[in-house]
Each structure stands twice: as structure tokens, then as C-alpha cells.
Structure 1
């Protein structure tokens, strides 16, 4: 009896061990399957199913993405679908995981994909090509089982706020458009507002802000290196006659002018005859619709590439999901507009001018003429001209003039190149340190110009009949012309203003 009892205990232990081992191995196997990009539940996804997909976007480029959907009973009605079109930058899908999972849990089948890396960079952006990518995503969702092909729309964030309407204007396949942080203004004007807003937040004031908004923005535009600088969003909006639109902004959006943009969306779409345009402002939300205290920080949420993304703002998903449900039910909400929050400042248009680069270039050439002439004379081992009165003054004027123009241009230009208000450097007395240097140099150049002009006026009385060689006379004339023209240019550029 004792032996039989022991055998029974051993058999029972074996059964229990097998059950426990199976319970441990099944989740591990599911996690491995998910890691190999096969269909299955998202780890911790609370009933979400995801599938890795590939599709061909604009110019036949293969794009990779993930389709997320909520688990539903067999035979359930087809669901609406939405394609996420990200903002500027590399745009890997992980950056928008919060949105994708939240929309899917709300019953909207969601496609999030990695942005193209071919024909897209800081210096090469084609909104038309990005719109073709988005439309390819719409076609993919329209062909999926369980998705209502008549109600597949686009969600466009920031840069996507230009791309999504452009895609919708090109194809009737787009059932609706949702934008978050979309701008109704051209990209360069929008970016200029963004930069000056961040500069004000850092305590910058005075002439540096108008320099960024005005002459520097024109200079950037004239170089042709700011991608899609003058893209006009209005034609695409005017072609969206019947497409339902939900335009959202955070009430603390500091990257696009929300009040102005909402006004543009409402006016242009209404003029196009669209009667299904809803504009809303998310309370306590930043540019991306995530939680913030002032628009410059992010609260909670995951980190992406070392930056805190912030949790989705309260009411964001509910507002979007309820609106999409109404559209999918065949009853898109009628046009309505929520009161817009105050905007920190109005945006400033900077009309493009191809010749904006010409004045600083001519000034640099004029100031450089004298030192270049001296260098050539030394290379040729030619003797100095007979008159040397004022030569040291002219050398100082030429050198400081070159520095003044270069510093005045590069300091605000760096803000555009780096794309962050922090590029202006340390702020002293409400001015970036580099701008203070440019202002000091400008004042010195003006003072030296006055001294040089006074000496030149008295030179015939003290220099006798000796005349400088023709080459030296041309260099001196170029220097003085540049020095005189520098004064109105510095007033316009801002370095001679407080």
C-alpha cells in the first residue's frame, strides 16, 4: 500500500508539472511569434490584434507598417479604418504607437507605417509623394476583411496636416480627414512663427525677432533650400467639397498658429461648399495632442529617442472616435467651431524675393575688396602705394565690416538651419549673445565709416598732389561704398535697432 501511494503521488506531481510547464510555454511561444512579425495579439495590447504589412507607395517604393484592430466576434459589422500620416522628420511608426493603439481600441482599424527614407530628408520633401504614400495605405485598408471600404480616412499630424488634405483632394477613396496640429499657412511662414514663439519663451526680445521673421525668412526662401517653403494648402482644401473634416489643435499648440489655422480651415472649406467641418481645441494639449502644462513640455507617456512624448490628452480619443463613428454611420456631423484659445502672437508673412541674398553678398564683396587687393599686391611683391594715411583705419573697417555682416546673417540663420530656438545660443539682456556681438560690430563699423569719411574729406588738403594707384583707388572706393550702404542694410536687418 505504501508503494502504491507513492506512485500515485509521483503521477499527480508529473501531471501538475506538465500543466504548469504548458502554461509557461504558451505565452512565451506567442511572444516569439509576435516578435517574428506574424499576426497575433499585441503584448499588453488589451485585446488588440496586429499584423505587419508591406505595400507600395509613391514611385513604387515599398513601405512597411502595422495594422491594428480590436478583437471582435465573428460576423461583427465592418469597422471604419484610418491611416496615420506622421509629422516631419524620419517618422518611424513607433512614434505614433499611442495613437494607433488608442484608435484601434476605440473600434477603428488603424494602419501606422514607417515614413519613406527615399526622396525624403531635411532638404528634400515632396508633399505630393507623401500623399501618394498615404493613398496607398488607404487602398490597403479598403481591401481588408472587416474594414468598411467606404469609410477609410486619413489622420494627419503637423506636416501630415498638409499631406492628408492633399491626398483627399486627389482621391475619392478617402472617406474622411482628421488633422491634429495642422497648419492653414505655408510651411516657411508656419516654421517662422514656431521659431519666434520658442525664442520668446526663452526670453528673447527686441530686434532679433523681427530679423528672424522678416529678412532672414526671405533669405531662407531665396536659397530654395527650405523644402516646400511656399506650399499653399488652400487649393487642396478648396477641392474637398464633401469630405468630412475634423480639425483638432491643442489649446497650447506652440508650433503652428492654431487660431489662424482654424480660421483658414473653416473659411476655405465653407467657401468650397463643405458642410461637414468640425474644428475643436483639446484642453491641456500640446501640438501633438498630448498632455502639457504650457505647450513646451510633455506630461507622462512613453519616451521616444530620449524625449518624453506625453500621454494623450483627456478627451482626445473620445472626440475623434465619436466623430468617426458618426461619419461611419452615414451621419457626418454638421459644421461647427469651438471657440479658439488666445494665440501668443500673429504669424508674419515673409514674401519671397529671389534677390534677398544679394545685399549681404554685395556688402561682403565690397568689404573684401581692400584686403584682397592688399593680398594680391603682397603676392606680386609690389611696393605699397605712395600714400599710407588711413591705411590702418581702412584695414580695421574692412575686417570688422566682414565680421559684422557675417555675424548678423549667421546668427538668425542658424535658428532656421538647426530648427530649434535654442540654436540662437545664450540669451543676455533679452538678446542672443551672437546678436549682441553683431550689434556691437555694426555700431563699430558705423563709427569707423564716419571717421574714414571725415579723413577722406580732408585728404586732398593734407596729402599733397600724390595720388594712389588706380587699383588701390578702386579697392578704396569699393570699401567706402560698402561701408556707406552697410548703414541702411543694418537698419533693415536689425543690428542697428534695439
Structure 2
């Protein structure tokens, strides 16, 4: 299972050619004293109508019951596929009580698959790092339940591209008390692509190469607002906001616990990026940081039939309580 519709999918394709306006609820499980429910709602962010999803257990509310996990906000990965409807998959093994929110990206339609060529022009105009950070920040303040949270009582969980958005938001949000990330590290994305090229990983090394990538990066930097020129399935306007972003200064600002999980065989973000982040935090022992490397696993933390993403997310429940057995 991938982190939404991620970069590699587009790479392969390129290589081959006002609030609560509505709500729907689906009962997902029926334990003896609680039900796990997925709801979809509308909200205005930045003056635009957007959608968000909430996955929660009825009965005792997360963040309020004794020993409960905090309220969680999930920031998804790249692409125009609908992510919110898949929240139950990711939290399949997470113990009750659970309360999770996810703001869908602007101009992502209902049940959108995110297949190459299906993202709208409106989506592409809005698809950049700065907009995602702005929307996430505003969501934390615009949603009544989130706006009313006390300091350090909310957990941000970022997957893939969302793992670059979440630390920026966490660095200046007094609400955030925990940061959990999957499929990201501490490198600029451009540097990560060059690592892949040097290692001989397709398509970065073939059909592309270090020289071709560096030439492409220069072209993107020279025309950063272009929606008509594309690279690996995304417009230059998208790449100019992501490729050259340095995440380390934002990690340096954090004073909350951080956990990062990566697959050793990650095909979208090199494992060297995660190891670089691990080394960075080793030089800052005052910060609480944990790095999990799943042997042989992919960007989606999967190895064969083993879905480590379920174990990682379920382990957050203990990690929030500072349990040393978390992720065992």
C-alpha cells in the first residue's frame, strides 16, 4: 500500500509516455461498546470549499479518556487520488479510542483514483508545498474541534510528501505535541534523486542519469512557475516547491517527540535520507527522536505480504505514552 498516489507512480507513468455543509458516515467496525466511523465533511479553507474526513471511535473520545491517544491529523502524500476514504486501512490495527482528521487536497474529486493524466488543471495550480503548508495550518485553526485544543495535545502524522509538510507546520504550531512521519528523511528531494542515480536505481539512473537530472533541476529553477512543462509526471511549478526544500532547519526547530519510519528499499526516498536524519538527531541528544528502518521494505513500508505500515501506526498508541515497547 502506497502513501496515497506517490511520486514513483508518476515517475513510472512519465517513463512510459461553509463548515459541515454535508456529512456522510460509514460504520466500519462494531466492537461491544464502540463503533469505528468514517465521516466526510465540507469546510472553507483559504476562502475555497474543501473536504475533510474524520475517522473516530464512538464512546470514549480520543484525547479525553484516561490513557487515550491524542487527536491525530494526517497529512497525505503526493498526487490527486482521494486519500481520506482510505484512512481506515492505515489505522486498521490502531487501538480504540481513535480520533483522526484528514484535510483532502483542493480540487481532488470524490473517489478520484489519481491515475496519470487525471489530475485537473485547477489541482495542478494548487499543488505545491507552500499551499499544502498554508492549508494545513488553517485547518488546525478553522475546524472548531481542532482550534479548541490545548497546547501540545495534537499529533501530526505525515506520509511521504506529507512528511515534508508536517514538520513545517509542527515547527510553529503550539498545538502539536507529537510528530510521526513515514517514507521521508532529511535530504532535499533533488539530492535524494541524485543518490538514486549514483546507485543505479531506475528511472533516476536509467533512462535518466545524474547529468540529465542536474540539467533538469536547472531548467526547473529557471522556470519555477510553469504548469506546461513537466518532469516525472508533475509540472515544474510543483517540483520547484519540493525539489530544493531543505527539511533539516524545520526539524532543528522542533521541541516535540519525533518518530520517522522508512523502508530499507524505499524507491521514492533513498534510505540514505533517513539515515542522514538519524545522524542529525544524534548530534542533538536533547531532542526525543526515534528512527525505524524496516529491512527490505518499500516506500509504503511493505515487504512482500508484510504491511509494516499497520505495525508502525498501531505502535504510535504506545509511543504517545512514551512506552519503551512501542514499535517492538
Are 1:116 and 2:106 matched, yes or no?
Answer: yes
Asked whether the equivalents of residues 170 and 179 of structure 2 are also in contact (C-alpha less than 8 Å), the reply is: yes
**Structure 1 position 99, deviation (Å):** 4.6
Match of 1:280 among 280, 292, 297: 292
Deviation per CA, 1:273-300, whole angstroms, max 9, x where unpaired?
75211111134532122x234xxxxx59
**Structure 1 position 323, deviation (Å):** 1.0
Partner of 2:5: none
Q: 1:73/1:316 Cα in 2 relative to 1: closer, same or farther (>3 Å)?
A: closer
Partner of 1:164: 166
Asked whether the equivalents of residues 111 and 137 of structure 1 are also in contact (C-alpha less than 8 Å), the reply is: no
* Aligned-partner Cα distance in 2 for 1:265–1:247: 9
Match of 1:324 among 296, 299, 320: 320
Q: CA RMSD in A?
A: 3.9
Deviation per CA, 1:395-451, whole angstroms, max 9, x where unpaired?
xxxxxxxxxxxxxxxxxxxxxxxxxxxxxxxxxxxxxxxxxxxxxxxxxxxxxxxxx
Match of 2:264 among 221, 234, 251: 251
* Aligned-partner Cα distance in 2 for 1:208–1:82: 39
Q: Which runs of 5+ in 2 are unaligned?
A: 1-21, 109-120, 225-235
Partner of 2:221: 221
Q: So what's the TM-score if we normalise by structure 2?
A: 0.67
* Aligned-partner Cα distance in 2 for 1:122–1:69: 31
* Aligned-partner Cα distance in 2 for 1:106–1:73: 9
Q: Map 1:458-469 to 2 at 5 A.
A: none
* Aligned-partner Cα distance in 2 for 1:83–1:153: 6
**Structure 1 position 130, deviation (Å):** 1.2
**Structure 1 position 87, deviation (Å):** 0.9
Q: 1:159/1:191 Cα in 2 relative to 1: closer, same or farther (>3 Å)?
A: farther
Q: 1:95/1:188 Cα in 2 relative to 1: closer, same or farther (>3 Å)?
A: farther
Report the secondary structure of 1:279's partner residue.
strand
Asked whether the equivalents of residues 24 and 40 of structure 2 are also in contact (C-alpha less than 8 Å), the reply is: yes
Match of 2:83 among 88, 93, 105: 93
Q: Which runs of 5+ in 1 are unaligned?
A: 1-35, 294-298, 301-310, 339-498
* Aligned-partner Cα distance in 1 for 2:27–2:279: 39
Deviation per CA, 1:374-412, whole angstroms, max 9, x where unpaired?
xxxxxxxxxxxxxxxxxxxxxxxxxxxxxxxxxxxxxxx
* Aligned-partner Cα distance in 1 for 2:143–2:94: 13
Report the secondary structure of 1:285's partner residue.
coil
Q: Would you tell me which structure has more helix in proportion to its own residues? A: 1
* Aligned-partner Cα distance in 2 for 1:44–1:270: 41
Deviation per CA, 1:458-486, whole angstroms, max 9, x where unpaired?
xxxxxxxxxxxxxxxxxxxxxxxxxxxxx
Q: 1:284/1:102 Cα in 2 relative to 1: closer, same or farther (>3 Å)?
A: farther
Higher relative contact order (CA 8 A, sep 6+): 2
Are 1:239 and 2:253 matched, yes or no?
Answer: yes
Q: Map 1:398-409 to 2 at 5 A.
A: none
Q: 1:79/1:218 Cα in 2 relative to 1: closer, same or farther (>3 Å)?
A: same
Partner of 2:92: 102
Partner of 2:3: none
**Structure 1 position 137, deviation (Å):** 3.8
Q: Would you say how many aligned residue pairs link Structure 1 and Structure 2?
A: 273
**Structure 1 position 192, deviation (Å):** 4.8
Partner of 2:54: 67
Q: Would you tell me which structure has more strand in proportion to its own residues? A: 2
* Aligned-partner Cα distance in 2 for 1:60–1:131: 16
**Structure 1 position 42, deviation (Å):** 1.7
Report the secondary structure of 1:176's partner residue.
strand
Report the secondary structure of 2:153's partner residue.
strand
Q: So what's the TM-score if we normalise by structure 1?
A: 0.46
Asked whether the equivalents of residues 155 and 179 of structure 1 are also in contact (C-alpha less than 8 Å), the reply is: yes
